Amino acid sequence: MSETENTQRRYDRLAPIYDAMEAGVELLAFERWRKRLWSQVEGRHVLEIGVGTGKNFDHYPSGTRVTGIDLSSQMLSRARQRLQQRPQRNSNLIQMDAQRLAFADDVFDSAVATFVFCSVPLPVQGLHELARVVRPGGQVLLLEHVRINRPVVGPLMDALDPVIVRVMGAHIARQTEENVRRAGLEIESVTELAPGELVKLIHARVRAQTVE
Ligand SMILES: C[S@@+](CC[C@H](N)C(=O)[O-])C[C@H]1O[C@@H](n2cnc3c(N)ncnc32)[C@H](O)[C@@H]1O
């Protein structure tokens, strides 16, 4: 079975307990960080990658049309239920792999992902896809937990990573800032949100096309 199929199965399995599992951290911090991210979103047509159970719906800015995608049909089914309770939200949900987006080039003004690139099997490929479907000059906003690049704790995260990913579906030792650069996106700012540089809000842009 491929790593993408494994990821899909893990989240299908986690879907019934996902919201309960995250309730504490959501209350303590995630909710606040989501609000902060969405207050920075620009443009009318937005892509949300890894929409999960739809925890960002309440933060979608009014006047935007958000297309949400996710690999897991079970996470999406919970998102669909949540969306039904919010009929005013202008969004549609599609099952799709972030590593192979079925969208044309340059169709979105912005793309957002919250706690997603820790679990996408080939994160640079997924970020490349974002750079392709967001228009030149458009935004890519990511809220991600990342590897702490410090002695002892960094190698400890590397050692635990293969175990955690099997249980929780997420890699805890991802170098997401580096991956964003490797995908050719331009980083505008990185905001440290948690002690020890564990959680970052990464604000990147698709490079504007240069005329030769
Ligand atoms: C930790 S959950 C985060 C969900 C949501 N963004 C949130 O903030 O609560 C990660 C989500 O990313 C999705 N995901 C993982 N790999 C993916 C991929 N290759 N393409 C699309 N979605 C993916 C999972 O199915 C899961 O719903």
Residue range 54-91, pLDDT digits in tens: 999 999 999 899 999 999 999 999 999 999 988 667 78
Q: Residue 1: which pLDDT band, with cuts at 50, 70 and 90? A: confident
Beta-strand relationship, 186-192 and 134-145:
unpaired
**Ligand 1 lined by 48 (C-beta under 6 Å):** no
Model pLDDT, residue 88: 64
pLDDT tens per residue, range 106-152: 999 999 999 999 999 999 999 999 999 999 999 999 999 989 988 99
The pick from 5, 66, 71, 165 for probing ligand 1's pocket by mutation, whose C-beta has the most ligand atoms within 8 angstroms, reads 71
How many whole angstroms from 101 Cα to the centroid of ligand 1? 14
For the Cβ of 127 lying below 6 angstroms from any atom of ligand 1, the answer is no
> Please, which pLDDT band fits residue 52 given cuts at 50, 70 and 90?
very high
| pLDDT above 80 for 211 | no
pTM over 0.85: yes
Cα(52) to centroid of ligand 1, in Å?
5
| Residue nearest atom 11 of ligand 1, based on CA coordinates | 50
Q: Which strands, in side-by-side order, build the sheet including 108-114?
A: 91-95, 65-70, 45-49, 108-114, 134-145, 199-205, 186-192
Taking a C-beta distance cutoff of 8 angstroms, is the pair 70, 52 a contact? yes
Q: How far, in Å, is the centroid of ligand 1 from the Cα of 45?
A: 20
- All domains of the chain in start order, with CATH: 3-205 (3.40.50.150)
Does the Cβ of 74 fall within 6 Å of ligand 1?
no
Q: Distance (Å, rounded) from C-alpha 90 to C-alpha 62?
A: 9
CA distance 86 to 93: 14
Q: Does the beta carbon of 71 lie inside 6 Å of ligand 1? A: yes
Summarize pLDDT for 148-161 with one digit per residue, the tens. 988 999 999 999 99
In the predicted model, what is the mean pLDDT of the chain? 93
CB distance 135 to 109 below 8 Å? yes
Residue nearest atom 12 in ligand 1 by C-alpha distance? 50
